[in-house]
Chain A
């Protein structure tokens, strides 16, 4: 899985680090380093090198552990934050903005989970009393894909148990829910799945779990009382995009009912200028490039407004027709 593993000296002998190393598959050589910041992102490592040379850095996150999420990130009116526990992802989605974001595709695990949990508590205490502060774990990595290795979820569960008004979202493209199932369902912890038609997953979301596997995981969580979220995001235009998503929605509701989904976000594919350059370079043959993008309100490039709102409204209409409550649907970053 990993070609080489680098561990910061300060934590190398901690029992939790040793236990993490024991859990890692394969027999990659482990090397101790001073500070991972001295190496990670200091040189430009080609993104696609992750296919045959993925390294893992294990260290502690310094500085801000919790950051405010971008506007229109989640349910409107509540403050949204993301916490930094990991960088980069084992998956390879062609549209992913992490391409080139850190100048390295290598994975980073920040293992100072107690400090992250403490920072969450502090953020909750500073949030206005009438609000529900949300914490998102999937900004720079998939929240669950490697959770059986990191085994960090328990730390976040404790924070949520103590703070009922806080909300936690674990966003994933995996079907890896075994660590979640070991913990009790809490109403304010949402496991959210990014979903797309299977044909799109095959073409664009390399190495991620199939739609069927993700839906089976959702069903199991729903049956066990966990709260669920769904992200139909990013939607990529193709001629029959509405039909494909209608079928995908049918499949979703074959596994869970609209009532079992706490919220559903939708968004079309979008890029920063640099991000799009990386996609063009790494995936010149991707069908993402079939459609023209235009600069839009936040300097990102998107489909033109009539086009993307047409797509989003059509899919939303279908969701409403299938019994999804309007108040649970929101457009992400629109």
Chain B
């Protein structure tokens, strides 16, 4: 089993590709690599690219992957007085992501938030923050201000990755480095249009970089053409990309260091323990639990002397979990002792079908778990025995929680049993039943 490490850009992955001696993996697209320790996927930018590529890889190599890790950059949405001055690796500010959110769309200053969020499996680290994924880069401070109410960090891919992990039942974690801040002045002020010189000075990029951007602009796919503002935003976007590209090697070194340290110092991130030690994911659901149960099947299900239907198996799992809580044990070495207390070995030697053995075992488990409830049920059966003996069936109405008697009778001229049923019903003492149902009877 390997980690699948996802990056948006090759530059962010470069240290991994080099140090782990990654080989290109033959696949539908050329952005997948494999090493001794991990798969490496270059997703491209944006949640759609990220989710499409991850879904393909996870579906193809599902059984070989234990954890999806995303390393990437993000914007800091919080107002800060200082700008980012990346002179040394010590200046880097990174966080493990706690919960991933999504802004579905941003129209002007109005934001449509996606309700679903995904919690990382990695939530035991102290330095963790929430992150919101956006479809477009955030430059407008008013938008950043609103997004920051949900999460202080913004990225372009994580929610897409996390949603795929949720669908394909893989734990994920993410580490984000802050590459830019919306409020600190590293973005051009509102008055700036696309004046190359001003921006160059502000960002500290070379004139060559700006020239390259201008060339891209001349060649290409400008996202929209609605005047100075979009021109400026587009220009900012590609220029920030250039700045980030320049720093990619530093980022990648840092990610590699974090990955190494995390694996070494925090075994919680390793596959076997990630499920056991971390708090439950916000989105863990029944099918996920079922998958977990499948991989930790109780030994009784492998015993050929016992047979459990699907509903009996589910009953067993629920009750077993509760019994283990009762004895406050997660130690599986005690399982056989507990099972023998329930008559497991004794039942194996009894002449009965495998299904009956399973049923008897479940009855004993229920009794052990809740003796009080068990006793009143036994008492109720005893009290209602005169009715059931003559074929009158009862059930407990869920709404009224009262007893309902079912009378099913085939009438014929010679049959005297109806009379007998009516006589028993007539003489039946309901007093004790009522007392029992109202908790006033001693069982």
Contact = CB atoms under 8 A, between A and B. Distances in A.
A46 B437 CA distance: 40
Given A49-B99, A306-B439, A313-B439, A291 B279 contact: no
B355 interface: no
Give the interface residue-count category, chain A.
Answer: 35 or more
B116 A44 contact: yes
A23 interface: no
A285 B437 contact: no
Most buried by A among B284, B370, B398: B370
A89 B405 CA distance: 46
Contact of A289 (B117, B279, B284, B322): B322
A239 B369 CA distance: 10
B439 A292 contact: no
Contact of B321 (A43, A46, A289, A308): A289
Interface stretch (B9-17, B142-150, B170-178): B142-150
Given A46-B117, A46-B119, A306 B325 contact: no
A42 interface: yes
Q: Which of A44, A282, A285, A314 has the most CB of B within 10 A?
A: A44
Contact of B436 (A42, A289, A297, A306): A306
Interface string A281-322: 110111101111011110000011111111111100000000
A311 B113 CA distance: 47
A290 B115 contact: no
Identify whether the interface residues of B are mostly helix, strand, loop, or mixed.
Answer: mixed
A39 interface: yes
Contacts of B370: 290-292, 307
A287 B327 CA distance: 10
Contacts of B119: 46
B236 interface: no
A303 to B, nearest CB: 7
Contacts, number: 110
A45 interface: yes
B366 interface: yes
Contacts of B116: 43-44
B440 interface: yes
A102 B388 CA distance: 48
A312 B437 CA distance: 13
B150 A39 contact: yes
A43 B401 contact: no
Contacts of B401: 296-297, 304-305
Contacts of A127: none
Interface string B426-443: 000000000011111100
A68 B284 CA distance: 35
A317 B279 CA distance: 42
B235 to A, nearest CB: 29
User: Which 4 residue pairs across A and B have the least CB separation, nearest first?
Assistant: A309-B439, A310-B439, A46-B282, A305-B401
30 contacts: A31-B145, A31-B149, A33-B146, A38-B146, A39-B150, A42-B115, A43-B101, A43-B113, A43-B115, A43-B150, A45-B117, A46-B119, A281-B284, A286-B325, A290-B325, A290-B369, A291-B370, A295-B398, A296-B398, A297-B398, A304-B401, A306-B380, A306-B439, A306-B441, A308-B439, A309-B437, A309-B438, A309-B440, A310-B376, A310-B440
Given A43-B101, A43-B114, A290-B325, 7 more contacts: A31-B149, A42-B113, A237-B372, A284-B280, A290-B369, A297-B400, A312-B439
Interface of B: 78, 98-99, 101, 113-117, 119, 130, 145-146, 148-150, 279-280, 282, 284, 321-322, 325-326, 366, 369-373, 376, 380, 398-401, 436-441
